Chain A
């Protein structure tokens, strides 16, 4: 049957699991923090495995006694209504990302409710996921009924947030041909402040506008208010910004509250992060390289092209893993002479959602 793929190290754990489930190949990961003082899988990784077991049918996960090695025999992606409590060590974004890659190929539309921290500094916050990641999925024809509902906000460390992810299923994703980055035409943003003075969000917006206002007039920064039970268990605030271009490429950035930092500085940090992203250019920002590349590989047997900035280390490893799982490699050439942007093109594998039921 499908041959076993072998990896070592705890890094890139998520996308290896995702690729395994999509391609149906068995995966063995060992030496997971074997040299660490606290060896083995962390609680969030275990939680992720549990989540994947919930959204699939027939998945067999074997974890070694020490927890430093796992064997994954993937089943089929079943989807449906699933509820999962995320640990407080990672935010909801950590779990949403792999699920977003799997959900379009499930048997039934996914309705996933996740509880935990909605915004932290490591993973995409629910705001960015809703505004940016989902629009990247829409590039591939995954659009009808695609939604993320932020029921409750939950700031670290206590969390208490809740988000519901609704994703339709598709037969096959569309081939992407996205080479014109265009120019930034609008900037949007969401500022939220929970269990702190609601003025904080206005202060963040003010300060970030001081940078952004010089470029274009079409700037709307919303202040998203959550009260009472909906505002989670811990105080916190954050600002997420996104810039959309004429060809609807999206760049985004985010800054969240830190101890001893004024909201104004958070606003400035977010705005400067956005400027840095805009400067890098391309059609897809760095946070979504992996998602876009994966969907390009899974497209029909045609050439997909996308222009992006240089790959991040994660992306590089992802490209290598893709080669192992799907046997597909990308052609990566500079988009233009002298440009730092690269043109990624690949021949789709013609991946068809085999889980989908007929009639």
Chain B
């Protein structure tokens, strides 16, 4: 029976059952889940669940912040790798670069930018162990990879860095544990991981991401682990930080000195330099006219800003279609300070790394880019001059035309070379043969120029893709290069311009009235560009004004922006011109306008022109309004008037909002045969109509679909508003050309710019070290000023000492790092700010210092010393800026003391408080007090002893009383500001600021001067002797009885009670004897009891002593065993330590 196979179940294919089943399934799927199954059983529970859900929703919300960084082309994300030395930062950097760019760096210095995805680029930067670098990195990093040696644990630097981050806005942090392979035992490894993770979470937040990197393979971390890390980095989301969202900044990835060599030579390298820095604009828009601060250098002004092409461009549209980043794009890396591809740009030389042995002509080994370049240079037979003369130079291999050079272009080129090229000049100093060095210079110069101007250039030839044909005129070519990349549309505009100065369109386009102002603009640009030294708008003003005027008249429309900003016509001239046009249009107004402006011109001729805000209407202008027709003509501007204005009036604009459709049709028909002018209003009208319809439709949809949904809550509303504003920001300046756009809104975040800085201290160049980050931070107008800054400060609880008033403190505030002298104070009952000698423990206090202003609510951290040798925790205080002012009122208490020298009833004469009557007069009416608490008042100065005065008290004072006057003395912070110019030092880690007096004395070996009067002496207070009060006999006699002194002589003779004898009665005697006996018995009893007790106690002591002896024996043995084990352990640890041989650490 068993082996017979069962018949398989065949579900019903049709019929009621099949239908039922299908239906059931479908229903389930539709619903998703059975609501009844998850319904809360009790009402209370439902309530709790509901509340929890709401709470969760609320915690999800954050204060909406505007993100100023554009979404379409954001700057690369700065990923900083931070950690103590020897923890594996460089290894991680190399591993990550290898992962993204498939290149191995030998010498990774400075920022390294790679493309990490279709929408993201990353800039890696390694932070060295200097506190200055940590501060600067903390201010700019978007993501921090915080490296921790797992085998060692947290170190001081890690915590210091976290505190720096905390006070400057916390960027995202990923922890990375390394050296985990050094822990051999699995259990120890697990425990270590757990302990470190717990500590890390308390520092950052619960659940912060912590990575574990095991060992090092081939000088890199394992590929899978790096891949995991890179995935985390690429999906990381960033929330804008307030400070960075209000300041523009830039992490310089390249630095060049443009100072004329001759000037450097004549000043022996001590002259102030002109320096260019290159980098991506971040934060907000960078504007010309503002100053910048480079932490470690100082405040600098920007001479010029130029947008360059992106050296590490994002994948463009074609690769956008792919899901993944193409392999080719992955190779792009921009790291001018590192040795990408074996080429390294030092500050004054280019180094080419050649693997193994190198022989020229050895073609079978593939040559690196650098080698190729040098070999090409060697192959050049003639100098640049010759080459130019022959004009056989092509900028690019693919260029179709040769470069032509005319004479005036020539010297310009020279200029450029002087400016741009360090390398070439240095090159010519080498003792190469003349021709070779010359040619090198030439080629190099060209190359450099390419780099500066060709945006596609990444410093390597392989990825240059700008195969652009050069126009015939070299002047034009310059313009072309400068603008072409910033706005790709301009290319065809140039062509148009070539046709004849004004754009012409042909039949297939709709008949537009083409404004020629764009052309004018272009022309002007062209003119403006041929010499950059003079401000563009100042040159050829008259010419330009004329052309622009002419063109505007032609086009009957003027470019106000140009007229106002680019000409130096007086305001009246600008307006007169408009009105001349207007007068062409309107004959009626002609007379009035002329009259009106005659008045003005008379004013120009030296008549007093009042600065008046009320614009006067001329009599004629007013007279016009006496006319009924005129009055009627503006009826459409009132709500009672019809929508469309009376025909022919040029001045209406908003009337067309609701033109009828058939009218629109008519006018379209008109537009066909007529000139271009009416077409535009018709189009505008149609557009307006469409917009109105759209709005109506939307409104209807909203109301029809869900009236509740259209009502947004506050949060949504705010977010919506921000989004709308951002859209407007994007849309408003979309169309205008790059230069005008830069003028109006500055340089947007994400653009790669070159900033020319003037008057940079030469030490920045002389002592340049690429491992120290150069941050260029934009300053707000308020931040350039100096003043007294009041901050709320709290000593860090890990900092070992209290902070003393008037001791110098190094602050990191805003972009700046500086040393200043704060005064600490506390608010005393909201009456006064009272100075403190020391910062209070575990409490905030105020500090006021002189220095550059930072906006209120800016966080800062403070240090007493930045040097690496400082033992212990270096962050001494943290706080926030509260107030900025030009004067401060902080007081300290002062007590003036005096003594009474003559006392009347409630009046006393006091001396030794003041030195002159004048001082007394100043204090007349002041409250004084004696030590015993009698209050009084200063009345009037006395003539005789200088500074003595009369005072009254509420009671009689004693001659021995000390009188004091409590007053407040105002203290001013010292005006001391000392920027931490660490980047200017050759030894950057050892900046020393102002030292404490004690430090100076210690270092100089000076003794503390000792004032004899200040030494503490033993206070001697002799016992006071009071003479007996003697009332004269005569006086006594006349006193009433009550007032007479009640003095009696002590009795000498014995009294009766003392003298008498006492005899007892027999009963009494008996009683006394009995009592005596009873007492004796009692005494004996007590004595015996005591004896017995003593015996018992002694016995017990003996017993206890015995037990104690046994116990101590046992203890001794136990301790012995423990110490033995401990000793072994420490011995083993010492052995390991010696074996490891890593650097000395400061243990937390």
Contact of B637 with A303 in the complex, beta carbons under 8 Å: no
Known: A183-B639, A269-B622, A347-B745. A358 touches B882 (CB 8 A): yes
Cα distance, A278 to B652, chains bound together (Å): 11
> Which of A64-72, A141-149, A150-158, A327-335 lies on the face that meets chain B?
A327-335
Instruction: Write the nearest CB–CB distance from A186 to chain B, whole angstroms.
Output: 9
Contact A24 B785 (CB under 8 A): yes
Q: Are B639 and A184 in contact (CB under 8 A)?
A: yes
Among A192-200, A220-228, A316-324, the stretch in contact with B: A316-324
Q: A311-B560, A337-B684 are in contact. Are A272 and B626 (CB under 8 A)?
A: yes
* A273 CB → nearest B CB, Å: 5
A183 to B638, CA, bound (A): 5
**Would you call A332 and B785 a contact (CB within 8 A)?**
no
Within 8 A of B (CB), among A233-256: 246, 253-254
Are A287 and B614 in contact, CB atoms less than 8 angstroms apart? Answer: yes
With A25-B781, A329-B744, A331-B733 already in contact, the answer to whether A57 and B650 are too (CB < 8 A) is: no
Contact B786 A1 (CB under 8 A): yes
A355 and B854 CA atoms in complex are apart in Å by 10
A207 on the B face (CB < 8 A): no
> Are the C-beta atoms of B617 and A276 separated by less than 8 Å?
yes
Which B residues from 628 to 671 make CB contacts under 8 A with A? 631, 634-641, 650-654
Q: Are B728 and A303 in contact (CB under 8 A)?
A: yes
- Selected from A323, A329, A358, the residue in CB contact (under 8 A) with B881 is A358
The answer to whether residues A276 and B856 also contact, given A1-B785, A305-B732 and a CB cut-off of 8 A, is no
Segment from B54-62, B270-278, B283-291, B994-1002 that makes contact with A? B283-291
- Given the interface pairs A2-B784, A12-B611, A278-B634, the reply to whether A336 lies near B653 with Cβ below 8 Å is yes
- Give the segment of B436-444, B470-478, B602-610, B901-909 that binds chain A: B602-610
In the complex with contacts A24-B781, A181-B654, A354-B782, A287-B631 CB distance below 8 A: no
Q: Is A314 an interface residue when CB atoms closer than 8 A count as contact?
A: yes
Inter-chain CA distance A226–B216, complex, in Å, is 91
Give the contact stretch, choosing among A109-117, A159-167, A210-218: A210-218
Chain A contacts for B284, CB-based, 8 A = 301, 350
Residues of B within 8 A of A180 (CB): 654
Does the CB pair B785–A2 fall under 8 Å?
Answer: yes
> Which residues of the partner chain B approach A33 to less than 8 Å between Cβ atoms?
608
Contact of B246 among A183, A312, A316, A352 (CB under 8 A): A352
CB neighbours (8 Å) of B746 from chain A are: 347
A102, CB-defined interface residue at 8 Å: no
A347–B371 Cα distance when bound, in Å, is 49
Which of A93, A286, A346, A352 contacts B782 (CB under 8 A)? A352
Query: Is A3 a contact of B301 with CB atoms below 8 Å?
Result: yes
B856 lies within 8 A of A338 (CB): no
Do the beta carbons of B561 and A329 come within 8 Å of each other? yes
Q: How far is the CB of B832 from chain A (nearest CB, A)?
A: 16
Docked complex: A197-211 residues within 8 A CB-CB of B: 211
**Which residues 876-904 of B sit at the A interface, judged by CB distance below 8 A?**
880-887
The one of A97, A184, A319, A354 that contacts B613, using a Cβ cutoff of 8 Å? A97
Query: A229 in the interface, Cβ–Cβ < 8 Å?
Result: no
The residue among B290, B572, B781, B883 with the most chain A CB atoms within 10 A of its own CB is: B781
B857 touches A338 (CB 8 A): no
A303-B732, A331-B736, A351-B781 known; A313-B571 Cβ under 8 A: yes
Residues of A within 8 A of B1113 (CB): none
**B contact residues around A333 at 8 Å (CB):** 560-561
**Chain A hits for B570, CB < 8 A:** 313
Q: CB-CB < 8 A to B301: which residues of A?
A: 3
Q: B557 touches which one: A13, A328, A331, A334 (CB < 8 A)?
A: A334
**CB <8 Å contact, B609 and A359:** no
Cβ A354 vs Cβ B285 within 8 A: no
Once A302-B725, A334-B557 are accepted as A-B contacts, the answer to whether A329 and B743 lie under 8 Å apart by CB is yes
User: What is the chain A residue whose CB lies nearest that of B283?
Assistant: A301
Inter-chain contacts of A175 with B (CB < 8 A): 725
Contact in complex: B780, A312 (CB < 8 Å):
no
What does the 1/0 interface line of A246-277 toward B look like (CB < 8 Å)? Answer: 10000001100000000000000101110110
Given known A-B contacts A313-B600, A337-B681, A358-B883, A275 and B631 have beta carbons under 8 A apart: yes
Within 8 A of B (CB), among A54-105: 57-58, 75-76, 93-94, 97
**Cβ of B621 < 8 Å from any Cβ of A?**
yes
A347 engages B285 (CB within 8 Å) = yes
Is A345 at the interface (CB under 8 A from chain B)? yes
Contacts of B68 in A (CB 8 A): 301
B724-766 interface bits toward A, Cβ cutoff 8 Å, 1 = contact, 0 = none: 0110110011001000100111100000000000000000000
Bound Cα distance from A185 to B641, whole angstroms: 11
Let me know if A352 and B883 touch, CB within 8 A.
no
Give the size of the chain A interface in residues (CB under 8 angstroms).
Answer: 99
In the complex, the chain B residue whose C-beta lies closest to that of A125 is: B614
Interface centre among B653, B736, B853 (most CB of A within 10 A): B653
B680 in the interface, Cβ–Cβ < 8 Å?
yes
Asked if A14 is an interface residue, CB under 8 A from chain B, the answer is yes
Contacts of B565 in A (CB 8 A): 319-320, 323, 329
Which residues of the other chain, B, contact A359 by a CB distance below 8 angstroms? 792, 882
Task: Give Cα A290–Cα B614 distance, bound, in whole angstroms.
Answer: 12
The reply to whether the CB of B575 lies closer than 8 angstroms to some CB of chain A is yes
CB of B600 within 8 A of CB of A357, answer no
* Residues 671-688 of chain B, each 1 if its beta carbon lies under 8 Å from chain A, else 0: 000000100110010000
Residue B836, interface by CB 8 Å: no
Q: Which A residues are in CB contact (< 8 Å) with B805? A: none
Q: Is the CB of A254 within 8 A of B561?
A: no
Q: Is A47 part of the contact surface with B, judged by Cβ < 8 Å?
A: no
- Chain A: CB-nearest residue to B245: A301
Task: Report the separation of the CA atoms of residues A58 and B785 in the bound assembly, to the nearest whole angstrom.
Answer: 12
Who on chain B is nearest to A324 by CB? Answer: B289
Q: Which of B639, B784, B787 contacts A76 (CB 8 A)?
A: B787
CA distance A62 to B732 in the complex (A): 43
- Does B615 touch A at the CB level, under 8 Å? yes
CA of A175 to CA of B582, assembled, Å: 33
* A326 adjacent to chain B (CB < 8 Å): yes
Give Cα distance in the complex from A311 to B561, angstroms.
Answer: 11
Closest chain A CB from B444 CB (angstroms): 36
Whether the Cβ atoms of B725 and A310 lie closer than 8 Å is no
**B192 CB within 8 Å of chain A:** no
Q: In the complex, what's the smallest C-beta–C-beta distance from B35 to chain A, in angstroms?
A: 46
How many Å from the CB of B249 to the closest CB on chain A? Answer: 14
Using a CB-CB cutoff of 8 Å, which residues 217-273 of chain B contact chain A?
Answer: 246
Chain A, 13-54, contact with B by CB distance < 8 Å: what is the 0/1 string?
Answer: 110000000011100000001011000000000000000000
User: What residues on A are CB-neighbors of B612 within 8 Å?
Assistant: 122-123
Q: How far is the CB of B428 from chain A (nearest CB, A)?
A: 38
Query: Which B residue's beta carbon lies closest to that of A337?
Result: B680
CB–CB B611/A14 < 8 A: yes
Question: Is A131's beta carbon under 8 Å from chain B?
Answer: no
Q: Nearest A residue to B600 by beta-carbon distance?
A: A313
A331 in contact with B744 (CB, 8 Å): yes
The answer to whether A335 and B638 touch across the interface, beta carbons within 8 angstroms, is no
Task: Judge whether B887 and A57 touch: CB under 8 Å.
Answer: yes
A16 to chain B, nearest CB (A): 10
Let me know if B856 and A286 touch, CB within 8 A: no
Report chain A residues within 8 Å CB of B653: 281, 335-336, 338-339, 341
B732→A350 contact, CB < 8 A: no
- Supply 5 A–B pairs (Cβ within 8 Å), ascending by A: A2-B781, A273-B617, A328-B287, A340-B582, A342-B560
* Known contacts A107-B885, A181-B654; 11 further A-B pairs (Cβ under 8 A): A1-B784, A57-B885, A93-B613, A254-B614, A276-B622, A302-B66, A305-B732, A312-B575, A327-B289, A342-B560, A345-B732
6 closest residue pairs by CB, A with B: A327-B289, A58-B886, A339-B653, A313-B571, A316-B571, A332-B560
A-binding residues in B (CB < 8 A): 66, 68, 246, 284-285, 287-290, 301, 513, 557, 560-561, 564-565, 570-572, 574-575, 578, 582, 600, 606, 608-617, 621-622, 624-626, 631, 634-641, 650-654, 677, 680-681, 684, 725-726, 728-729, 732-733, 736, 740, 743-746, 780-782, 784-787, 792, 853, 855-857, 880-887
